[in-house]
Structure 1
Amino acid sequence: MDMKMTWGEVEVRRVVELEAPFLPAAALVPGVPAERWRENEDWLAPDFWDPGSGRVMAAVQTWVLRSEGRTVLVDTGVGNGRVRPGAPHFENLDTDFLDRLAAAGVRPEDVDVVVNTHLHADHVGWNTRERDGEWVPSFPNATYLMPSADHAHFGPRGADEESRDPVLADSVAPVDRAGRTLLWSGTHRIDAHLTLEAAPGHTPGSSVLRLASGGDRAVFVGDLLHTPVQILEPAHSSCLCEDPRQAAETRVRILGRAADERELVVPAHFRGAGAAEVRRAGGRFAISRWAA
């Protein structure tokens, strides 16, 4: 499903790399009671959950923002031809992602800024592509914004370590060597409408991107949410979070501000409408509406 909207003066478009069943719900967010899935089946299925297999349905996608005359990509997916031990669903993909970007009016050389909300494999893959046997930046004129805490945590500390970590070798280190990386911490303003903010827990450097333009507000939350059930049960982090307690605290904080300020919440992996408005519901949250 494509999505193209204009929020204030910013054009927002989604480009999907892949959609597929992911982990079983009980494995992805083990703290969530099984009945929470069943009692919300009428709207979780089929976009977010497959009742038959019990698996969470997910998308890997890039958000394309056109703001102040520049093109900004938020996360870059898995990429083609990657070696991903332990993640067979990401191994050796061969998708037409760059063609899909082109269909959205984005040529690689036209990208000005790439935002990696964090440095997991499914958020940095198309940072690079293979050319003549080497990995080079896919977007040669872009500044790649990477959280400094994640770069320190995951980043290359020498040739030996880089060679042991294929994500570093093919998706991060080549950008560093090309001089295209800009590391940031705390907050980082991209332009008058877009600001990055630290949101740790899922990884040490996980971040959110806030959009504020005219009367419109949105927050791109990366992997703060893997499933809408975490909006209903924000205390429960995914099995992929490095610090589950900190991730839960960050989730409650970000969702609380989104509810209070009527920010659309835009997670990295939601299928369907892809973005939702949330409201407070006691000590938890609920979905007020999905993006049109």
Structure 2
Amino acid sequence: MALTTHIGNVKVMLVREILQPVSPEGMYVDSDMAVFEDNADWLMPHFLDDSGDLALSIHALVLESQGQTIMVDTCIGNRPIEMIPEMGHLGNGFLDELAAAGYEPEDIDIVLCTHLHFDHVGWNTILVDGEWVPTFPNARYLFGRTEYEYWDSGAEGAAITFGDAVRPVLEAGLADLVDSDHAVTDEIHLEPSPGHTPGHVSVRISSAGEEAVITGDLVHHPVQFTAPEWVMTADDDPPRASATRVEFRDRYADSGILIFGTHFAGPSCGHLSHTDGRWVFTAKL
């Protein structure tokens, strides 16, 4: 599935790998169904289904900016995922979707990972003759320096494919370790948003007077704009992750900026507003 929008002169295309229902308690340590019920008017139908499950999307965003084709995050890939077996061995459907959207692996100039958890780095590499090699041979892969060094030091967490989806890219000489405010082009730069992981970044787009931001995993589901204190099961530093969500929410609500949720279902993007004491995320259709 591919969805396309434009932010000024920047083209943004969503290429989805999978969309699956997840129970609230499966995603959040301390979810409260009353919050979903109180906000069902805007959560449904894209973000909450009739059975009370949440919709979780795994997708990449392909940006075209100033002659560069940039892929933000690379989903799960075709590999075993021991901690979540049902997410393993997904086949090559994502590459088929990418081709249907008009991109071959050779067309990607930059691969940018918001962080290095397994569901954001999977298509960094493919298995060829028993070895994991970079999927996008003409690309420079951008990894946050803080993020890379944290996982490279042996930290434990959801970066369970670091050894086959991240390190081989550096060993192939295709990776650059960058600062958390790195400018990718004149229209695209990184914003630090730590907490989910130590070096987590979001991606800001500014072009021809229009603005957008790609969240990464600072927020997994728009309900967290209402409940930023909810701990996501993979948050590395929950208090810091919550503080980052509050800062993001306060910065971008009612600003008119288009927010792309890295795991949001439906069109994945929309606007955040704060009216009469309610935080509402309205999907852009």
Quickly name the TM-score band, shorter chain normalised: over 0.9
Q: Aligned letter for 2:17?
A: E
Aligned match for 1:57, one of 48, 52, 55: 55
Structure 1: which 4+ aligned runs deviate by more than 6 Å?
A: none
**Is the aligned partner of 1:137 residue 2:139?**
no
The answer as to whether partners of 1:73 and 1:111 remain within 8 angstroms in 2 is yes
Q: Aligned letter for 2:230?
A: H
Identity among equivalent pairs (%): 39
**Is the aligned partner of 1:229 residue 2:223?**
yes
How far 1:68 moved relative to its partner? 0.2
How far 1:260 moved relative to its partner? 5.2
Residue in structure 2 matched with residue 124 of structure 1 by the alignment? 121
Q: Distance in 2 between matches of 1:279 and 1:44?
A: 14
Aligned-partner SS, 1:191: coil
Residue in structure 1 matched with residue 284 of structure 2 by the alignment? 291
1:182-197 to structure 2, matched below 5 A, reads: 182-197=176-191
How far 1:7 moved relative to its partner? 1.0
Which sections of structure 2, spanning at least 5 residues, go unmatched? none
How far 1:249 moved relative to its partner? 0.9
1:162-201 to structure 2, matched below 5 A, reads: 167-201=161-195
Q: Aligned letter for 1:38?
A: E
Aligned-partner SS, 1:209: strand
Q: Distance in 2 between matches of 1:262 and 1:30?
A: 31
The answer as to whether partners of 1:41 and 1:51 remain within 8 angstroms in 2 is no
1:151-193 per-residue CA deviation (whole Å, 9 max, x = no partner) reads 1121266xxx99xx85022101110111111112231001110
The answer as to whether partners of 2:188 and 2:205 remain within 8 angstroms in 1 is yes
Aligned match for 1:258, one of 245, 248, 252: 252
Count of aligned positions: 283
Which sections of structure 1, spanning at least 5 residues, go unmatched? none
Q: Distance in 1 between matches of 2:90 and 2:177?
A: 28
Q: Aligned letter for 1:60?
A: I
Q: Aligned letter for 2:58?
A: V
Q: Distance in 1 between matches of 2:195 and 2:160?
A: 23
How far 1:286 moved relative to its partner? 2.2
1:1-292 to structure 2, matched below 5 A, reads: 1-22=1-22, 24-52=23-51, 54-80=52-78, 82-155=79-152, 167-259=161-253, 261-281=255-275, 285-287=279-281, 289-292=282-285
Q: Distance in 2 between matches of 1:90 and 1:156?
A: 26
Taking structure 1 as the reference length, the TM-score comes to: 0.90
The answer as to whether partners of 2:145 and 2:177 remain within 8 angstroms in 1 is yes
Give the aligned CA root-mean-square deviation in angstroms. 2.0
Q: Distance in 2 between matches of 1:169 and 1:105?
A: 30
The answer as to whether partners of 2:12 and 2:64 remain within 8 angstroms in 1 is yes
Q: Distance in 2 between matches of 1:284 and 1:191?
A: 36
